[in-house]
Structure 1
Amino acid sequence: MQMHGRCLPSLVMLIVVCLLVMSCGTTPTSQYFKSSASFRPADVSVPKHEQAVRRQLSNTPDGEARYALLDSLAADYFKAGMVADSMRIRELIIDDRRIPPGRRSLEASLLASAYAKDNYNRTQSLIERARTLARETTPAELETLPYVPSCAYLSAESDLEGRQGRHEQALLKRREQADLAWHDLYNPTLSERRHRAAANVLLQESPWLISLMQIHHRIEALSYANEMRWDADNRPDMKPSPRQSAEVDMGRAFALSSNDDYDGALTAIDAAIDGFQKANVEPYVPTYAAALRLRLTIALALGRIGDYQADAAALESAASINPFVAQSGVDERESLIFAARGQWRAAETRIAASMGPHPEPWNWPYLPNRLPPPSPEGSYYKYTAALQMMYLLEDPTGQVGYAEIASYVTPLLGTQDQWNDSSAYNEDGALELSMSRATSEGDQGQVLAFQIAELFHMNATQGAMADGAARLAASTPALRALVEQEQALRYTRDTSHAEPLTNSVADKKLAILHKQIASEFPLYRQLMSPDVPTPVALGKALQEGEVYLDFYAGRDAIYAFVVHPGGAFHAIGLATTRAAITKQVVALRSSLDAGIPPRRPGDLAGFDLAAAAGLYQALIAPVQEDIKAARTVYIGTSGILASLPFNVLLIRPASSLADAQWWISTATPVRIPNASAFVIARSHPATHASEPLIAFADPSFDGREPSTTADAQMDRATARAFPVDDRAASFDYHRVAPLPETLDEATSIAKSLNATDQSVLWGTSASRSEVMKRDLSNDRVVLFATHGIVAGEVPGWRKAGLALAYEGSGLPDSILTADDIVTLRLNADWVVLSACNTGLVTGNAGDAMSELSRAFFAAGARSVLLTQWAVESRSATEVTTGVFRIYANDPALSKAEALARTERDMANGKVGELYRHPYFWGAYVLAGDAAR
């Protein structure tokens, strides 16, 4: 048998990260026992110690020795809770010219972060000082430093931008910092100590980079968080300390929260806090206090904040000791403390103060004492609004109805004069609670619940839409001019230090410009900040014989929403739970994911018939009456249900493959990113490309070209899975198994579509560089028949992609990655990915579509034929060639029906008894617009 192995917002603005934090990470301190009693009172002996230190300094000319004395004194003050005195000593370090410039630069950078909230002028002065001192740092001194000075002042610059609400500018600074650190880490000419300093930057700064990413780039944030966790656990040049490992876990908690995985986030933040305890970090250290605040927010989203009253007490005590913790998000912190104690009304009142004119005085000479309300488009407003909504919904004495829920949810669904492209990591928690309550609020409440479910799915795939918007703008000069004007105006507003009145004028200009763009280029506006459609709007896009089925699996309930052509709508609460569904999905996928096909006809090979029937009964049977007239069932979902292969569900229990009645025998399930994407695609039909096909098949993985097709056939590989050898020190791309049969597959499809021989590229021509340089916008079908690679499948390789011909380095230049794909310009009716796991979805709460499918949709594909597990050689060819043979022979047939007929034929034994098994035909699924 041949295997076809084609195979936070407020925290960012308000939390202080300074050198005080770093010093406490290496100095023994008292353990935290989750009680305010564990905090140390002010130590009156420390000032006496300062007198002794000053006497020593008068007789200590050596700069390093002077630094050690002052650093130790500052740490003692900090451990005693005398933070202001600790800061005062740190200022002495900066001003001491005998201390080497690198040490002073680090102090200046991190003190700048401490002052960023309430002293703009002092912060700017310290940043400039840090930058100057960094330039004066000698290579010899760099060898002695635990941190990179040029990276440290970027942290301060980012903090200053973030504390003024300019999140994209703050993120740019953090990205620049990470890029510098990665460059140093990969630089072979640098010493091990320099590599260690770079690793320290990457590890310690990861939570703050991730917390900024999640505001506008939540999928990227989770990807980076997972990569950092993997790197910390596996890379020998990382070797994190317990504290650094805790900081990486904290970053994952941010990312998981913003992707609707609060259970996973709670596990991550528990690990982070446990790590801080093991590292003897005091809770009044700002990073630790931030972790406590984050855990309270996560617990609130899970409905469990009452279990964390000890965290509330610790946070309250931390604020009483450290003024920088006390100044960080007062309203937010105090509202969380009230909520943990069950004082819901007080919590709601307190957070509401953050949403009006800011009451805190500011120490910026050009700003008034009261600031205007935060913009409803901004992430900070969304964060506080989500807190407020959760307080209202959790309050057992409250009376929250449809009007209150709609007032919170409706702005998030999109309006013509706003660009809702930011998010808050607690927003999903508020939305799920709102959905649960809305379903009991009659017909209008159920429509709102449907839109909330769609918002979840849209958030999980929004990156693809944004990429599509950028591509559209780049290709339209008039639009590009307006977009550049909008970006410049937004940048000027976000980076100016003008008075609020001036920025208010800028906001009005932006609103006018947004309306102009929406009027003249509605597709760009819909892609950039799409509206969540109502059932009526979605119904207008559906055709006869189609139905849209939305599933949302919440923590406490699962909902199904059915929309028919014309807008008829039905909402159903399903009698199952996410835990039960997860168990069944895992059981169903286990044998399919194992990659071991059955060897003889009738062999189940571990396939769970009971799970296939049980999932149908739990999910499809309750809506069967609603969808029975439809031939094509578009399914929008996310989380665990996004990993469910709906086409292998059984209508009724079966004891063998011979008596199996598959759901696909009566309907064709098609995956769709979300209803908004579907409406946009149907509302803006593109002209079909003129060329029938471009195909990339049988790549030359060793970089050599077979002399003839016959030679390639003689060298047919037996193993088709992507080769991974954990025992090898490095990955050898030359040993990737060749796939000569994929050339037969591609040429057969070309024949069905009346394409020329030149439309099939193979051997060394089937390369990444060839794909990247070609204009693919005139090809109706774009086919890749090769190995697929899943992110993390190869040690050290963290990207999903398609293996193409060897081009000199192997993985780095021979894999076509999702990052490459989004830059392509497609106008394809079909993209066919005849490779392993190209449609694999993690099943995590915030996931909806595979990385490769999102990339191809972003590049312009209308539909993508994907695989849900590793595919076997002959059956893969049978499916793809069969689909296009049927499709080409019947001009009236939809793409969905062409796939359905092919899979039904195989399930019914027409290709042979062995291929009745769903392992062979069920791997392929269609995503996108499945009409002709």
Structure 2
Amino acid sequence: MDMRCRWLAVLSSLIPLMLAGLPCASGGASPTAQPGDSPVSSAATPAAGRSPEQQAVLDHEQVVRNQLNDTTDGDARFALLDGLSSDYFRVGMVADSMRVREEIVNDSRIPAGRRSLTASYLAGGYAVSNDYAHSERLLERAKALARDATPAELETLPREPSYAYFGAEAELDRRHRSRHDLALLKRRESEALAWRNLNDPALSVRRHQAAVNELLDNSPELIREMVQTNHRTEALSYANEIRWDVDNRSDMKLSPTQRAEVDLGRAIALSSNDDYDGALAAINATIDGLRRANVAPYSGIFAEALRQRLMIALALGRIGDYQADADGFEYAASINPVVAHTLPASERDSLILAARGRWKDAQTRIAAAMAGDLRNYGPDSPFYKYKAAMQMLYRLEDPATQVSESEIASYVKPLVSSQDDWGDSGTRGAYDEDGALALSMSRAMNEGGEGQVLAFQIAELFHMNATQGAMVDGAARLAASTPGLRALIEQEQSLRYERNTAHVALARATNRLEQSQKDDKNQLQQNLASKDVEQEEKAIKAVNGKLASLRQQIDSQFPLYRQLVSPDIPTPDALGKVLHEGEVYVDFYAGRDASYAFVVRPGGAFRAVRLAATRAALTKQVVALRAGFDAGVPPQHPGDLAGFNLGAAASLYQALIAPVQDDIRGASTVYIGTSGVLASIPFDVLATSSASSLADARWWIGTATPVRIPSASALALARSHPATRASEPLIAFADPGFDGRETGAVSVPAGNVAARAFPVDTGAPAFDYHRVAPLPETTAEARSIAGALGASDQSVIRGMRASRSEVMKRDLSNDRVVLFATHGIVAGEVPGWRKAGLALAYEGSGLPDSILTADDIVTLRLNADWVVLSACNTGLVTGTAGDAISELSRAFFAAGARSMLVTQWAVESRSATEITTGVFRIYADNPSLSKAEALARTERDMASGKDGELYRHPYFWGAYVLTGDAAR
């Protein structure tokens, strides 16, 4: 048995002592005993009730004791006790199994590393059993023993002790403290340690392989924690990165089972990014790989893969096609006690019943699991949230159930923050929440006006979730650097801990009451137990009241923090109040079976439209439209299409804009909120009709200016900043020293037209920051903009001074325009990088300390009318891999910016200078013009041939997108 399976066995052996459930293999189950769940037998079984197998193990213990008396060798003693503990677990005598493992921890003759591993496994087990005091004591013991492990012993261990206690700490954080954010930090620490060990040439091959094992075995759990803390974009980026590593790194030798685990992690990440078709392909690869590896169908990992496929099938509305998986899941639980206690039986049964079409029974069973989670953790727990999504899917997919708009609202509203309700967007239900929301949206569209408003808010929630992880990270950074806010957040965390403790006490009191009723205890004992339950319920109510009051105080004193961690999702009426005449807001959502457009006009007039195009069809058109732009090869002569697809430009207009043309007619500025693959669309280059050449093209930009916005709430936030005018016209960061050296400024080159390319060597295991392509011509661009704004050359910071640390330490609140003329990086674009950011001067480590990320940006002090990202790919969005433009935009808006001008592909230098300089020249010369109109005029001039026939091509002018408040 490998150590991963052994840990599961150890943890499972502890669970029946108090509760039936285990998160480790499932990564999301709560340890909640539910009505009808049956704990396995324990060592408390009377002698008369013992089976022959149990009695045989008891008898064998005396043999082991005799052997121990004659054994001083530590490894031999460990082998004897380890075997005895496993034997006790095998026959269901879990208390004795635990007792023997504690003996291992306390045996000073056994090497410290072995004892540390065992202490960590026990600490994790006690965490899931809610015996937190014991868990914490063992965890401290594990850490102390780990420090005593010698380098020689580390060469003999199947796992580094540090890896194990990080995992135990993660379980303790998320279960005892309900702090999934802290659990994620521990998982990341374990991952970082494993990478350091793998890349340390001084360590042995064995230690390197142990690091590889940790990275691969830990990847599904790390991905799960990312998802449950709403870092879903990062989760998918990490899943893709791990897959790239195992396919390309010769030092990452993995077993077939580990490859299956990599696919399992990717399935979880895709499920949580509203891509269930991709998730199904990934989980199919997992199961096929396990079968090829001859993994037992009742093993923990096989059962977990079956469970994930049932979850994915449920979200797809196809769970009935996977009854064989349900049968296999049920069989595994009947054979393997680890599987039996990995999930509450009520949750497992509900999936099995749903696969068999017994929807009402499935709802009853999942309701029991939800009740336990609500009692133990409260409604903000991701454990509760994913089960609530399962219940909603059961109801929506049951052909005998008619789900009303109010019932859909009762599910959706807790996930949608409002001005009066602080929802916890820092957690989410992994696996099936997106599926429940998408199906809820579809049904709500048929429920009249109120239902369609609800559908609009669901679409907004999808867009918010795409970038929420970065906002939560930024909020934490903001709190850490703001003393008054930090004190309030510490109080809030203390109250959350108090509430979590109260939930644990309520769970215990409820269990005692149920047990007294079940055992027919006398009425006095039942009354006492009932009073305990009432007392704990009052305690939870009291702390909830304190928490609500404190959050109101935080919202009042630090509204930005609240908008980062729990942003409002406005109704159309509320959004209509911030829209100006001549503006309209359109929300697009692309779904598997149908897509939607939601239009809001000034004053709150609202219309919802179901679009004919599906996500798959739209994806094909988006890929076709972007292909020429993403190739990074500009046209070299007039009339050269250079891969630009005029048909795709027209078909996307017909699919998305034409159905709402009457609703947006008369609006000169069209704010567009979307996410996923639709966020990749350069809306400026859409054509209103088919054309055979650029000369014949009729661009949508000719009649309206599309303006991107991460969400409706982001527009409201951008317009909430005081309109005080900064006194300085510009600060610019250009031509950063990527190689760590200063260079002379270079003007815009003449000759061949070339794009600013970002070097990504997909065959290299690591990214060399020194190889980032320099951008000397951006100095000339920045100085040209400075001239248009009347700013001095000193406002342009370049070379080694154009660094992340320089940006972070500056007070930028007195600059009307803040320019970054540099490369942008999107999540997953380079190995080892999972955030959107801006590449600045090399500061010693490359990616970790030289990239300005969204959580950095949140902490800046801005009062900018414009933030300009004249760079490569700062607006690029690659489907569900990451909404970079939205992530950076939300961060800049939070920091105080009102609008942004960003690029969507590798811009060419001369056109970049002409566009950016032209925008600011027109804007400065025409005080009545809005930002949207200034950009539109500049783009229209270039498209009409004002800068030469070559530059009529949309490659040159269509890269720019305005986002945020596009008014003056």
Alignment TM class, shorter chain as reference: 0.7 to 0.9
Amino acid at match of 2:129: D
The answer to whether the aligner puts 1:323 opposite 2:337 as a matched pair is yes
C-alpha contact (below 8 Å) 2:669/2:706 kept by paired residues? yes
Tell me which amino acid in the other structure corresponds to 1:108.
Answer: A
**Which residue pairs with 1:3 in the alignment?**
none
Query: Paired residue for 1:378?
Result: 381
2:840–2:852 contact (8 Å) kept in structure 1: yes
- Cα distance between partner residues in 1 of 2:96 and 2:788: 80
* Alignment check: 8 A CA contact 1:546 1:634 kept: yes
Structure 1 distance, partners of 2:456, 2:500, is 35
* 2:161 pairs with one of 137, 146, 149: 149
Cα distance change, pair 125–282 in 1 and its aligned pair in 2 (3 A) = farther
**CA deviation digits over 1:781-839, x for unaligned, max 9?**
11122333445544555554434344455555544444543443322221111111110
> 1:119-268 residue pairs with structure 2 within 5 A?
120=131, 123-124=135-136, 126-164=138-176, 165-218=178-231, 219-268=233-282
Structure 1 residues 471 and 51: CA distance shift in structure 2, 3 A: closer
Identity among equivalent positions (%) equals 70
Moved more, 767-776 or 895-904: 767-776
Q: Distance in 2 between matches of 1:296 and 1:250?
A: 13
- Unaligned runs of at least 5 residues, structure 2: 1-14, 26-51, 507-535
Taking the aligned partners of 2:53 and 2:682, their CA distance within structure 1 comes to 63
Structure 1 counterpart of 2:956, from 920, 926, 930: 920
Give the match's secondary structure for 1:689.
coil
Write the letter of the residue equivalent to 1:838: T
482-491 or 69-78: which moved more? 69-78
Query: Could you tell which deviates more after superposition, 439-448 or 44-53?
Result: 44-53
1:887 matched residue in structure 2: 923
Task: Work out whether residues 710 and 886 of structure 2, in 8 Å CA contact, stay in contact via their aligned partners in 1.
Answer: no
1:49 deviation in Å?
A: 13
| 1:514, distance to aligned residue in structure 2 (A) | 2.0
Change (3 A) 1:731 1:529: closer
1:107 paired residue number: 118
> What code does the residue aligned with 2:581 have?
E
Counterpart CA distance in 2 for 1:798 and 1:472 is 21
* Aligned-partner Cα distance in 2 for 1:311–1:402: 33
Q: Is the 8 A contact 1:70 1:93 kept in 2?
A: yes
Partner of 1:424: 429
1:596 equivalent in alignment to 2:601: no
What SS does the aligned partner of 1:770 have?
helix
Structure 1 residue 64, shift from structure 2 partner: 3.2
In 1, distance between residues paired with 2:465 and 2:874? 21
Aligned pairs for 1:782-931 (under 5 A) are: 782-796=818-832, 799-808=835-844, 810-811=846-847, 813-844=849-880, 847=883, 849=885, 851-931=887-967
Once residues 228 and 832 of structure 1 are traced to their aligned partners in structure 2, the CA distance between those partners, rounded to angstroms, is: 33
Give the corresponding residue for 2:582. 545
Q: 1:583 to 1:725 in 2, by over 3 A?
A: closer
Matched, 1:439 2:445: yes
Q: Is the 8 A contact 1:17 1:286 kept in 2?
A: no
The one-letter code matched in structure 1 to 2:308 is L
Tell whether 2:398 aligns with 1:395. Answer: yes
Letter in 1 for 2:224: S
Q: How do residues 644-663 of structure 1 correspond to structure 2 at under 5 angstroms? A: 644-663=681-700
In the superposition, relative to structure 1, how do residues 187 and 860 fare at CA in structure 2: closer, same or farther (>3 Å)?
farther
Residue identity opposite 1:593 in structure 2: D
Deviations 1:35-84 (A, max 9, x none): xxxxxxx9999969979995877776544355456667877898999989
Give 1:687-726 correspondences, 5 Å limit.
687-706=724-743, 720-724=756-760
- 1:505-536 Cα shifts (integer Å, max 9, x gaps): 32221122223334555454344312211111
Q: Contact 1:638–1:845 at 8 Å: present in 2 too?
A: no
Distance 1:128 1:706 in 2: 53
Structure 1 residue 272 displacement after superposition: 2.9
Give the number of the structure with larger relative contact order, counting CA–CA contacts within 8 Å between residues 6 or more apart. 1
1:516 counterpart = 2:553: yes
In 1, Cα distance between equivalents of 2:946 and 2:454: 46
The residue correspondences of 1:318-357 to structure 2 (distance < 5 A) are: 318-327=332-341, 328-356=343-371
Partners of 2:484 and 2:138 lie apart in 1 by 43
Q: How many residues align?
A: 888
Change (3 A) 1:82 1:307: farther
Local SS of the residue matching 2:190: helix
1:562 is matched by which residue type in structure 2? Answer: V
Root-mean-square deviation over aligned CA pairs: 3.6
Q: How far apart are 1:147 and its partner, in Å?
A: 0.8
**What letter is aligned with 2:804?**
R
Write the mapping of 1:384-783 to structure 2, written as runs, cut at 5 A. Answer: 384-415=387-418, 416-421=420-425, 422-425=427-430, 426-466=432-472, 469=475, 478-494=484-500, 499-500=505-506, 501=536, 502-706=539-743, 720-724=756-760, 736-783=772-819
Aligned counterparts of 1:705 and 1:108: Cα–Cα separation in 2: 53
Tell me by how many angstroms 1:847 deviates.
4.1
Code of the aligned partner of 2:460:
E
Partners of 1:111 and 1:794 lie apart in 2 by 39
CA separation in 1, counterparts of 2:744 and 2:561? Answer: 48
Q: Is the 8 A contact 1:81 1:322 kept in 2?
A: no
* Residue 639 (structure 1) shift: 1.4
- 1:419, CA displacement in angstroms? 3.1
**Is the 8 Å Cα contact of residues 718 and 893 (structure 2) preserved in structure 1?**
no
The one-letter code of the counterpart of 1:152 is: A
Distance 1:465 1:148, change over 3 A: closer
1:283-294 mapped onto 2 (5 Å cutoff): 283-294=297-308
Q: Counterpart of 2:171 in structure 1: which amino acid?
A: D
SS at match of 2:603: coil
Q: How does the TM-score come out when normalised to structure 2?
A: 0.84
Q: 1:591 to 1:231 in 2, by over 3 A?
A: same
CA contact (8 A) 2:726 2:816 kept: yes
What TM-score do you get using the length of structure 1 for normalisation? 0.87
1:753–1:888 contact (8 Å) kept in structure 2: yes
User: Larger deviation: 340-349 or 307-316?
Assistant: 307-316
Quote the Cα distance in structure 2 between the aligned partners of 1:89 and 1:490. 36
1:118 equivalent in alignment to 2:108: no
> Whole-Å Cα distance in 2 between the matches of residues 734 and 372 of structure 1?
54
Describe the SS at the equivalent of 1:658.
Answer: helix
Shift of 1:398: 0.5
Structure 1 CA distance for aligned equivalents of residues 270 and 636 of structure 2: 40
Secondary structure of the residue aligned to 1:380 is: helix
Amino acid across the alignment from 1:462: Q
- Deviations along 1:596-629, one digit per CA (max 9) or x if unpaired, are 1111111112211111111111111111111011
Q: Once structures 1 and 2 are overlaid, which stretch shifts more, 348-357 or 125-134?
A: 125-134
Inter-partner Cα distance in structure 1 for 2:188 and 2:766: 28
Report deviation, 1:690.
1.9
Contact 1:670 1:930 in 2 (8 A): yes
Unaligned runs of 5+ in 1: 1-10, 19-41, 359-370
**Aligned residue identity for 1:435:** M
Hey, what does 1:34 align to over in structure 2?
A: none
Choose 313-322 or 625-634, whichever is displaced more: 313-322
Render the CA deviation track for 1:117-140: whole Å, top value 9, x for unaligned: 336166456445534433332221
- Matched with 1:21 is none
Q: Where does residue 3 of structure 2 map in the other structure?
A: none
Query: How far, CA to CA, are the matches of 1:283 and 1:686 in structure 2?
Result: 64
